Structure 1
């Protein structure tokens, strides 16, 4: 399983609207993508405009090709993109260890 980690910074004062938009986009768009395994989204306490989005995929290609090169990516960005203060920083990770 691959972890996609997106560090998102949104415009000030948009937290409530973004909270609704990101959850809607995750449920309506991303959760239907090939290889999607789940998600977590956390919002900043000290930095309330910062969000950390974690999406779990079967393979790296499920995100980078199957999703990013599909019409669903434009649909996702249409829901959340206007909130971004800067492009999200996105990286992918393999699991090394976890607690039981």
Structure 2
């Protein structure tokens, strides 16, 4: 399993609209093969910045499956207009974890 990590810099003043659009977009990504889970968090210090974490079964489920799909075009139409600058996306493999 891998984790997609993206800091989403939303244009100031459009946060509420972004959150509404994301509520629709999350249904798109959640329907994709290899999707495991996602979380969207809003920065306390910089309220126009969001942290998106998406868990995928494999890197290819995201980079080939999702990004190469027609559903990704719907995702883009809903969300990409909110970003300035465009987010940097990285993928991570779990090395260690702990929980209470």
Give the TM-score normalised by the residue count of structure 1: 0.95
What 5-or-longer segments of structure 1 have no aligned partner?
Answer: none
What 5-or-longer segments of structure 2 have no aligned partner?
Answer: none
Partner of 1:31: 30
Over the aligned positions, Cα root-mean-square deviation in angstroms equals 0.8
Between the aligned partners of 1:95 and 1:53, the Cα distance in structure 2 is 16
Say yes or no: does 1:85 pair with 2:84: yes
How do 1:1-100 residues align onto structure 2 when only pairs under 5 Å count?
1-27=1-27, 29-100=28-99
Aligned residue pairs total: 99
The offset of 1:24, in angstroms, is: 1.6
The offset of 1:23, in angstroms, is: 2.1
Between the aligned partners of 2:83 and 2:23, the Cα distance in structure 1 is 15
Between the aligned partners of 2:5 and 2:55, the Cα distance in structure 1 is 9
Between the aligned partners of 2:32 and 2:85, the Cα distance in structure 1 is 25
